[in-house]
Structure 1
Amino acid sequence: MRAISIMLSAFGPYKDEQVIDFRELGDESIFLVTGPTGAGKTTIFDAICFALYGKASGSERDHDTFRSHFAEQNDKTAVSFTFQLKDTTYLIYRQPRQLKPKERGEGFREEPALAELYQVDNGEKHLIHSKIKDVNEKIEQMLGLDYDQFRKMIMIPQGEFRKLIAENSKEREEILQKIFRTYFYQDMTEALKTQTKKIKEQLQQTDWKVKQEISKIDWDDPTLVDTTAINSVLDALDHKLKNDQEKRKELTKKVTKEKQQLQSSQEAFYKGKQLADKFKEQEQLLKEKEKLDNRKIEIESTVTVLKWGEKANQLLPFEKQANDRLNEWQKQVNMLEEQKQTVAILEKEFKRLSENYQVQQAKEKEKQEEKLQLVEKKKQLEKLRHYTEISTNLEKTKNQYQEKDRIVKSINKDLEEKKTNLQAVEHLLSKQTEQTKAYYETEKELLYAEERYKKSLTLINEYHELEKLRKDYQQVKDHYVQVNQQLKEKRHAVQKIEEQQQTHHAYVLASHLHDGEACPVCGSETHPAKAEIETTAISEKAYKQEKTELQELEAAITKWQDKYIEAKSKGEAKRDVVENMAKEYQTIETLDRTNIEKLTYRCKEEKNLKQKVFNEIKEQYNKIEKAEAEKQKLTNETTKLTEQYEIQKTGLDKLKNEQVTLEAQLVQLRADIPEQPMTVEKWQEHIQKTEQALDNWFHMWQEQQEAWEESKQKLQESKTTFTSLEKFVTDLAEKKKQQESLFNQKVKEAGFTTIATFQEAKISEKQLEIMKHEIEQYNQSVQSVTERLQTLSEQLEGQVKPDLDLLQESINFYSNQLDSTNQSLHAISLQIKQHKQFQSNIKELAEEQEKHDKEYYDIAELADLARGDNHLKLSFERYVLSSFLEEILLQANIRMDQLTEHRYQLIRSNQVAKRGAQSGLDLEVMDQHTGQQRSVKTLSGGEGFKAALSLALGMADVVQAHAGGVQLETLFIDEGFGTLDELSLEQAIDCLKGLQQSNRILGIISHVPQLKEEIYAKLQIKPTPQGSFARFTF
């Protein structure tokens, strides 16, 4: 980060807007902030720190006190800081929380804090963030430093030099961690720790699972539940399984025996139950016989009713015939009338159909001829359809042949490519040793070429700076000569004016001299040679103006003389650097821009050529690495493609034969097919329409014929029916009369005195059947009961009624006994199955535990080592950070050596921290006077300042040197020089002046007079009753 400008408004002691542009420094990279105590020197640094982080630069300053006491109510307190980072310019604007007058009414309102971050391109601002949180995060991301780290590395305020070197190892770790971005190592350590924890949890879980499995086992010995020896558990479980299997065999035999006993009891029970059922049946039959005897009178009465009913029912046919003759006669009379009407209607319909029949009969011959023509057309259509079908199949076969031919050619092409690739791979494998050697040789040559190219770029950059210094030197020299010439001319002019003034004074004095009067200058009373030439007097104002300009030119010549000497010194130093670097390249004849650029171009071309060669060899090397697998892959693919080629080639030949066959069929069919003006579809559609029309006509003609025939037949039948009906009605009248006489005679013969008596005796067939069934059932029941009682009496003679309850108790006893034994057998079988599963689970868990034990041993040891649980108390990340710290101390000691006259050297402490604290980043000093190491906290105030300054500058050098690191091009120091003696101060100033070569801006606040004399550029702070003002002076 490089500061460009800072704007303050109503901030601290500054009432009016102050703009401090650091670009005014030009080549002066070191400036001194001077002014009385309380004028606002540290406020400048506070403003920069507040602009970036929203906080003051010192730990004792509060950002809520930034508002100026000189400010009016409407003045806005704000800071705007412009800085450059990696060739990009940014502007950050902040306002602290402040009270502002209300727009309406009296009183104040609190205006919240504000922060805005812009990117500046060609004078135009582009907003990046406008929220305080986002701005703060972006600044920390860009600078790579948080507020505390920024204060320690870039802005070292009053009283905090000691903290930079005296802070503990943990705080220094946080700074280095963020600067060098070593979070990866911390993440890796955490990952190892997490993995260790995970494996340990898996081990604990496996142990718990083993204990759970062991606790599930039904042990004979309870002490085995708490055992942790898995082998002992497995042995005991195996022994228990053998005992349980023996018990299962014994229980199986017992179940077989008890099943036989239960079966015998069940058979005895079934026999007893059959005998008891017979005794029960005998009792029920005796009761049923008593009921049948009681129904005997009722059944005899039913028999009488049945007798007269059957007689009456025998007369029913005669009654029915008499009624039927009557109904037939009446019905036929009605039908005769209806038939007469029907004959009249049919005669009219027959006449109409006969007329239409004769019209259609005339067209029948024409339609028959059309039908014959249609048959011929169908034959032609079938031939055309067959021809079309074969043509389609031929086209399809041709397409399939072309596609199959394409596939065969494609497979053949792939096969040839695979064979070629296989040969190339085999050829490549034959050069494996030669290629490996070439790879490492070209890699070495590439690294050398890259190093030469980097140095050539550094050389050309240094030469560009040398040219710039030469140009600056020439400009300073020209200006110096010009100012010197102006000074000479001005001195001559002033001398001439003084001589003219003297002549004029002499003339004025001579004009007042008279003979005999004493001269006021020499006392002579005679005046032989008085000044007689009158001259013009020069005004005192003009003379003072010329004198002032002369003094200004004398001051300017001093300034330009210093610049001339400084520019010459810088140029000579840079020339030495360029010449020393150029010595490495013996091909440079003349050290100029053209030759150096040619050298850089040659180095670049050489590097690119080496890179190209290396890439080609690396590509071949990588190919060889994969060649074995590629060879096997290509061999398999070649075999597979060969098989595919044979299969597809066979299919291709088959399609070719099909194509020849179809073409021959087409040639034969083409001769039998006449030329058709229409397609198959159109021709088929025409035939279908013609056929449909003919079908419709013949169907209609058939319907008309049938209708005519049917009408004719119906008419004839109707007339015949009418004649028959007339005769039939006459016959039915005679039959009716005869049937009525016969019925009356039969009623008398059956014993019925009147027709009414006959009607009363009639019983429906259903009722007759019910009576017959009832009587028959009664007789059967009497016979069945009698016969069954006789049989049971014979079977039960001498038998005793059995006790079924006693027999059931026997069955229950043996059944319960069998259930109990079966339960025991099931339980022991289930236990054996479970214990076998437990045995398998424990064995699997034992294998898993052994695996986790091995993983835990390796990972846990690695995790402990990474997090610093070792004899050095040094974590992996701290080990990496310690290497960075060593590099920082190497750079810091260059300045520490200069500042302490080779007495002190900063070193990293190798002592192991106490009480389990982490080590590796603590600092000590080597005192060359005593030859002993001691803590940096033992340094005096001045020595501590030197150490802190050296460490800060060394840290900035190392951070900037690392690619991708933060560019620390700005450093501010607030006090601390007052602790140095005169020699140390001179050494510190020389050290700081050396920073000018690195193009850094270094701002120093100090009241030390020697610094004011040594540092040319000054930021002068002038306090007034209206607030302080700041401006650069040189």
Structure 2
Amino acid sequence: MRLHRLGITAFGPFGGAHEIDFDALSTAGLFLLHGPTGAGKTSVLDAVCYALYGSLPGERTAAQGPGLRSDHAAPQTRAGVVLDLTVAGRRLEVTRQPAWERPKRRGTGTTLDKAQTWLREYDPATGTWRDLSRSHQETGEEITQLLGMSKEQFCQVVLLPQGDFARFLRADAEARGRLLGRLFDTRRFAAVEQHLAELRRAAADRVQEGDGVLLAALQRMRQVAGEDIGVPAPEGEPGEPGLAVAVLGWAATARTTLRERRTVARLALTAAEREQTAARRALEETRELHRLQRRAEEARQHRARLDATADAHQEHLARLARARKAAAVEGALDLRAAAEQAHTRARRAEEAARAALPADQAAPAARLAALARTAVGELGALASARRAERRHAELSGELARADRDEHADETLLAETADWADRWETTRAALQREEAGARDAAARADRLAALLGPARERLAAARRRDTLTADADRARAAVLTAAEASAEAQRHWLALKEKRLAHIAAELAGRLTDGEPCEVCGATTHPRPAARAEGHVDQRAEDEAHAAYRRCDAGRAEAERALGVVREELAAATAAATTAETSGLEAEAGRLAAEHAEARSAAEALHAVRHRLDAAEREHDRRLADRHAAERRAAARATLRDSLVREQAALAEELEQARGDAPDVAARARQLERRAALLTEAADAARAAEESATRLKEADARLADAAYRAGFDTPEQAAAAVLDDAGHRRLQHLVDARRLEEAEARAALADPATAEAAGRPPADPDAAADRARRADLRLRAAAATAEAAARDAVALDTLSRQATTEARRMGPLRAEYERVARLAQLAAGTSAENERRMRLESYVLAARLEQVAAAATVRLHRMSGGRYTLVHTADRSGRGRSGLGLRVVDAWTGRERDTATLSGGETFFASLALALGLADVVTDEAGGVRLDTLFIDEGFGSLDDQTLDDVLDVLDALRERDRSVGIVSHVADLRRRVHTQLEVVKGRDGSRLRVHGTGG
């Protein structure tokens, strides 16, 4: 990589635009970048890093975006860097502009512009630049891929910060490991360590999970087998070797014990079954003997009770005999009772019907029937009179409706005539109101067109008066802010001058014995400058500068506010012209009053038009109603004459039909009631005569039936009759008596019963108790046998599961042991790892060994052949080994710690280490050639001879066509290095000067 040109604009301390021609500086091979402290030497290197990677090195990374822009830049100048370089055989130009708050192009205030990036490539064939990308991400990826280095590697390899390598020399193994890890990107080896550790944890989890399953199976087998199998259960934790063998051995012992228990339980069950069978047989025999003995006793007692109730039994038999004889008379009795009831009802109905007749109550049935037929004939003759009566009523209703219609039409004709007399006057008045409302609407439109502009001019005049006062106040505020800003600036500059005059005392306050001076690099300080009275420090200057910035910002804000007020005042003055506000208020008030009056009058236009249209429709409707009423009156006169003639004829017919009744309907109701009463009385009289005849016939049949059945009178036969319930009751008593007698005879005649009665009394309760105890013993033996069989089956199943799980665990445990061995080896905790080195540390140790070898070549020359750097694998710092670094002193022939080097020795040792590291990282990055290097500070600690040796080594880099830039403010270097890039600082920002290039 070779730098050709760097353009800097408003970047860091550089307020303007500057360009650095590295091709001219590189002609001599070695050039010096110098300037006073704070001038911006490091900002040049920052610009190179920002152009390539879009961010600053190290701790300055946070100062991005608007913070990169110079405070000395003009308000409209945007910060940016342009880098022209050649890398991997391609010439590229990278342009980067950070985000910034720029002033708005219109109005006041600022707006944020996003960061911009351009990447171009030079085409030698055409001699032109070709655009490649405008993307931050694409540009960064392209540069990183071509360089083969990250930003951290680039800052260590190209910019060579000596302070970092001085600390690297004195650091412990952990600190060296962190730096080397960033430079050589050993994250993949750390990832391998982590991956192996994760594989180990995963394999351990699988083994522990499988052992957990085995232990769970063991627990279930213990629950099944119990605690008294004679062999203690194995104890262990998941992951312990030998756990599966112990579990399977215990399971085999438990299975044998349970099989023996099952055999013993089966034998006990067989014995309990035989005992239970014998006890049940004895129980059945005892119960049968007890039954027979109880039966014999009950038979003797029953026979005694039957003998005591023999007379009652004979009476029941006699009563049943009389009832069987009376059954032949029962039908005649029922028939006579029914005939008597029917005759009684018929006589009562006849008496009630005759009592309802107004006359002829004692007439026979035939006479009553004839009178009923006569009344029905008269009722039929009234049907025509009923129709005439209904028609007569209809005619009366029609005549009444005709009278009402005639009165309504006469009222309508009178109202229509009166309304027609007023029509012309009403229409003329409405037409005049309509014309007046139209004129008012037109006048309101004209006044509205004048009122709007008048109000706008009035509002503008009022705003003009207000803004005039605001403008006076804003001008006074601008003057006050400008005076305060000028005073604050004078105060800040005075303090700055005073501080610069005594800057030596401030630098002396930071000196420490044994530490190099920031200015000259010396480690001894014989006469440090003392602070004078009234000394101004950095804090006071910063506070004064901050106060000036605040005052200046207030001044700018006051000027912006004044500009806004002036713009608004000009706009208001143009809108209001030069008229007075009072005159505009009077004119606007007059127009508003006239407009309101005209608008109020115009609002009645719609209502007037609606009323006029309604009046015309009403006029047409009334004329139509009048013509219709006249036509109805003519037709109604003809209809009335015909209705009157028809009604008179019907009235004469009705007078003859109703007789003495008020109307035909009343006459019909009289005839209907008379016919119904006569018919009911005739029917009741005939029914009474017929029921008397049937009662006489029933009495004769009953007397004959009682005689044939053997009874002297019908009353005796009726007394002997039993109803169904009584007959069933007596028959049940007789049958039950006969059954009891048969059972008693059978029981007394049974040989078994007689034999049982002669034996001692049986005891069924004792036999049942013996059988119950045998049942309990049988159930207990069955439960024991079933539990033993179930436990044996369950234990066999669990044993098979445990065996399957143990077989599955074999490959998992082997895999865990293999992965654990690799993980321990990579982590440095295995006994096979003799140096106890992690994999990442081992790789870094190899890189450090390469760096030490490359650095020794230059250190040997810088130290005049005295010092050599060697890499050691000794352990240091929390057990880490392989990252040790020692220096060999050829004068003494002994190795010693790098921390024992002096300040100057530490500088050239760290420089040699940095150059060696640059070579190794370059090779690691794919052999990208680094033709431009920068070395930052540290030369003040060298004596003249050592400085010559160091410059000779750096000058030798030119033989490899490299250019080296030394960043230092040591005065002696300006005499020894003739090609120089000077950074000059001033109040308006830093500037760049080039010396010794011949340009």
TM score, norm. by length of structure 2: 0.48
Larger radius of gyration, structure 1 or 2?
Answer: 2
